Structure 1
Amino acid sequence: MKRIQLIFMAMLAAATATQAQQPLTHTQHGQLRTVINPAASLLRTGGEVSVIGRRQWVGLDGAPTVLWGSGHIGLQRSGATTGITLRHESMAVEKLTEASAFFAKSVRISETEYLGLSLNAGFSYMDGRFSQLDPQDPAFREDVRETDALVGFGVMLYRPERYYVGLSLPRLMLGNLGVGGGDNRYDFRNLYHLTAGALFHMGIDFQFRPSVLVTYSESLRPQAEASAMFYIKQVFGIGLNARSYGELAGMVQFNFSGLGLGYSYQFNPGSEPLNRRIGNTTHEIGLSYRFDRALGLL
C-alpha cells in the first residue's frame, strides 16, 4: 500500500514538474473575490472575513488541496480598506504558503461609478519534501525549503450592487522561489486574474448574478471560467460553473444576517475516475461574514 501511495505521489509531483497544469482557483469567485483581487474589498467597505477550502481528486492522498482566507476593515472617511489575504496550497509532497497585507482606495469617477486600486506585499514559503517519495531513488531531488518576498496590485472599476470589472496581479515574486538548481521546475511567479460580474434584479424576489474569471501565469496554462447564480430574495442561491478544460460544477449559496455559506461540487464529465475509491470530483466550501450584516450579492 505504501508503494502505491508513493507511485501516486510521484505522478503528482511529475505532473507539477514537467507539465503546464491549470491553476488552482475556486469556483465561488463571484461571492468571495478579495482573495483574487484585494481591490474587491471596496465593494464591502463595512468589513468582512472569509475562508474557502477546496479539495480535488477525493480519495487520493496528496491530491491538490487549497485554503484561501481574507479579512479586511473599512476606513469609511477615506473611502479605503485594509486587510490581509492568506493562501495555503498542498499537492503531493509540495506545500506553498502565502500571506499578504493590502491597502485599497477608491476614487469616484462619475455619479455612480468608482475606480478602486490596491497594493499588497507579503511573503511566500515553499516546502517540498521530495525525499519522501523514495529516498533510495536518485531520480527524486532533495528537499526544498525556500522563502521569498512578493508584491502585487489590483484595479477594479465598479458600480455598487450593479457590476464590477477587475484586473489583479496578487503574486509578483521578487526572487526565484522554487527554481533552485537551475532546472526551472517549480516557478510560482507572476499570477494574473481578470474578473467581472454583474447583478440583475428579476422582479422583487429574484436576482441573477453572472461572473467570469480568467487566470494566467507564466508557468501554468491559461484558464477561463464562467458562473451563473440565481437567487431568491438574496437569501438562497443555486447555480452552475463551467471551466475551459471541461470541468462543471453545481453551486449553492445561503445568506443570512451577514453570514454567507457556499458549497460547490465540481467534476469533469469527460474524465474517468482513477479507481473505485478515487474519483475526479472536487469539493469546495466557502464561509464569509460581513460586519455590517447587510445583505448584498455583489
Structure 2
Amino acid sequence: MLRILNISKQFFRGFRILILILLGGVWSFSGRAQSDPIFTQYMNSIQTVNPAYAGMWEKVGVQVFTRRYYVGHDGAPLTRSVCFYTPVKNENNGIGLNIVDDRIGYEKKLTVTADYAYQVRLDWKTYLRLGLKAGFINYDNLLTQYKLYPDGIDDPMFMDDVDINFMVSWGIGAMVYTKDYYISLSIPQIIENDFRANRNNYSSLAELRYAYLIGGYIFGKQRQIRFKPSFMVKGAIGAPVQADLAANFMFYNKFWIGAMYRTNHTVAAVMQLSVLKNLRIGYAVDYSVAQEFRKYQLGTHEIRLIYEYDFYKRPYTKKRFF
C-alpha cells in the first residue's frame, strides 16, 4: 500500500510540473495550427508530437512509418514519416529529426522539424525532459483538379492552386518519467500558418493549436510478461477532445500485442515484433464502429519499422518499455 501511495505521489508531482511548464511557456503565444495526423502506435513514437522524447533511450535510432486511411477509397488520407533520434555524448542531451508527409485528395503537407531535448534529474529515480521542435512546412493543394458538384457550377475559390513553401513550424514539450511510468505534455505546432495563398483567399482547414497529453505505466518489469496501459488525450480550443485508451502486453521482450479505443468510435489492434537484435516491426489496424461508417471502409492500416543501434557502446543502457 505504501509503495502504491508513493508511486501516486510521484505521478501527480510529475503531472503538476508539466502543467506549470507548458502553461507558463505556451499560452502567452498567439497562434493556431492545422489539424495534425493521427498515430495509433503513439506509445512507440512520442517524439512525433513531443521533442522532449528525442534521444531518451541512449541509442541511435530511426523509425519509418506509413498510415493509410479507409482502404478501398480513392483520395483517402495517407501519412508517411521518418523519425531519427540520438543522444549526444553527454547523456543529458538528445537530438532528433522528423519528416512527415500528410496527404488527402489533392492536398499535401510536408513538415520537416529538428528536435532538441535536455534532461534534469528531479530525484534518484525521477527525470524531467524539456524539448524544443523547430522547422518548416510546405503546403500545396491542387484546387483546379477537383470536380465540383453539381457539374457546371464554377466556384471562384477553386480557380487557382495553393502552393506555399517554408512556413515556420515550432513547438515545445516536456516529459516526466521513471522506470515505472511516464507523462508527456506538448504542443508540437504553436505558431499560426495561413494557407490562404491564392487570389480568392481559399482556406483549407480550420487552423487549431493542438495539445497532447500522453501517459503510461509498466507492470511486471522484472517478469517475462509485462502489462502496459497507456492513454493519449488530444485537444484544442474550437475542436472536440479526442482520447485514446490502450492496453498492451509484452512477452519475453520480443512481442507486443494490444488493443486501443479512440473516442471517435474507433477500435484498433496493435502488435510489435522484434525480428532481429536491433530491428522491430509494428502494425496496427483501425476500424470505425460507428454505424454510418463501418460498412463503407476496410479499415485504416499502419506499419512502423524501428531500427536502433548502441552507437556509443555504453556499459549500461536503460531498458526501453515506452
Query: What is the TM-score of this pair, normalised by structure 2?
Result: 0.78
Structure that is richer in strand per residue: 1
Q: Deviation digits for residues 79-105 of structure 1, max 9, x if unmatched?
A: 111121111110111111100011110
Select which of 187, 201, 213 maps to 1:194: 213
* Residue in 1 that maps onto 2:15: none
Q: CA deviation at 1:191?
A: 2.6
SS of equivalent residue, structure 2 residue 48? coil
Q: Does structure 2 conserve the Cα–Cα contact (< 8 Å) formed by 1:84 and 1:99?
A: yes
* Residue in 2 that maps onto 1:290: 308
Equivalent runs, 1:86-97 vs 2, <5 Å: 86-97=99-110
Distance (whole Å) between structure 2 residues aligned to residue 119 and residue 204 of structure 1: 36
* Residue in 1 that maps onto 2:60: 47
SS of equivalent residue, structure 1 residue 34? helix
The answer to whether residue 136 in structure 2 is matched with residue 110 in structure 1 is no
Q: CA deviation at 1:132?
A: 0.4
Select which of 253, 260, 280 maps to 1:241: 260
SS of equivalent residue, structure 2 residue 40? coil
Q: How many residues align?
A: 275
Equivalent runs, 1:149-188 vs 2, <5 Å: 149-159=168-178, 161-178=179-196, 184-188=203-207
SS of equivalent residue, structure 2 residue 94? strand
SS of equivalent residue, structure 1 residue 62? coil
Distance (whole Å) between structure 2 residues aligned to residue 42 and residue 226 of structure 1: 26
Q: Which runs of 4+ in 1 moved over 4 A?
A: 178-185, 272-275
Shift in CA distance, 259/98, structure 1 to aligned 2, threshold 3 Å? same
The answer to whether residue 118 in structure 2 is matched with residue 85 in structure 1 is no
Q: Does structure 1 conserve the Cα–Cα contact (< 8 Å) formed by 2:163 and 2:197?
A: no
* Residue in 1 that maps onto 2:223: 204
Q: Deviation digits for residues 87-130 of structure 1, max 9, x if unmatched?
A: 11101111111000111100001000110001111111111011
Q: CA deviation at 1:45?
A: 2.4
Q: CA deviation at 1:203?
A: 6.1
* Residue in 1 that maps onto 2:245: 226
Q: Does structure 2 conserve the Cα–Cα contact (< 8 Å) formed by 1:173 and 1:189?
A: no
Q: Deviation digits for residues 156-196 of structure 1, max 9, x if unmatched?
A: 0111x421101111112344234765565424452321111
CA RMSD across the alignment: 2.5
Q: Does structure 1 conserve the Cα–Cα contact (< 8 Å) formed by 2:116 and 2:133?
A: yes
* Residue in 2 that maps onto 1:6: none
Q: Which amino acid aligns with 1:138?
A: D
Q: Does structure 2 conserve the Cα–Cα contact (< 8 Å) formed by 1:188 and 1:219?
A: no
The answer to whether residue 151 in structure 2 is matched with residue 131 in structure 1 is no
Shift in CA distance, 130/220, structure 1 to aligned 2, threshold 3 Å? farther
The answer to whether residue 282 in structure 2 is matched with residue 262 in structure 1 is yes
Distance (whole Å) between structure 1 residues aligned to residue 132 and residue 171 of structure 2: 6
Distance (whole Å) between structure 2 residues aligned to residue 60 and residue 199 of structure 1: 38
SS of equivalent residue, structure 2 residue 174? strand
Distance (whole Å) between structure 1 residues aligned to residue 169 and residue 185 of structure 2: 17
Shift in CA distance, 166/279, structure 1 to aligned 2, threshold 3 Å? same
Q: Does structure 2 conserve the Cα–Cα contact (< 8 Å) formed by 1:234 and 1:296?
A: no
SS of equivalent residue, structure 1 residue 285? strand
Q: Which amino acid aligns with 2:248?
A: M
Gaps (5+ residues) in structure 1? 1-20
The answer to whether residue 114 in structure 2 is matched with residue 98 in structure 1 is no
* Residue in 2 that maps onto 1:72: 85
Shift in CA distance, 110/89, structure 1 to aligned 2, threshold 3 Å? same
Shift in CA distance, 239/107, structure 1 to aligned 2, threshold 3 Å? same
SS of equivalent residue, structure 1 residue 237? strand
Distance (whole Å) between structure 1 residues aligned to residue 37 and residue 134 of structure 2: 21
Q: Which amino acid aligns with 1:287?
A: L
* Residue in 1 that maps onto 2:314: none
Q: Does structure 1 conserve the Cα–Cα contact (< 8 Å) formed by 2:94 and 2:117?
A: yes
Q: CA deviation at 1:222?
A: 2.4
Distance (whole Å) between structure 2 residues aligned to residue 274 and residue 114 of structure 1: 43
Q: Does structure 2 conserve the Cα–Cα contact (< 8 Å) formed by 1:42 and 1:116?
A: no
Q: Deviation digits for residues 259-298 of structure 1, max 9, x if unmatched?
A: 12111111012235687xx515101111111112976222
* Residue in 2 that maps onto 1:271: 291
Gaps (5+ residues) in structure 2? 1-33, 312-316
Distance (whole Å) between structure 1 residues aligned to residue 206 and residue 139 of structure 2: 11
Q: Percent identity?
A: 26
Q: CA deviation at 1:219?
A: 6.2
Query: What is the TM-score of this pair, normalised by structure 1?
Result: 0.84
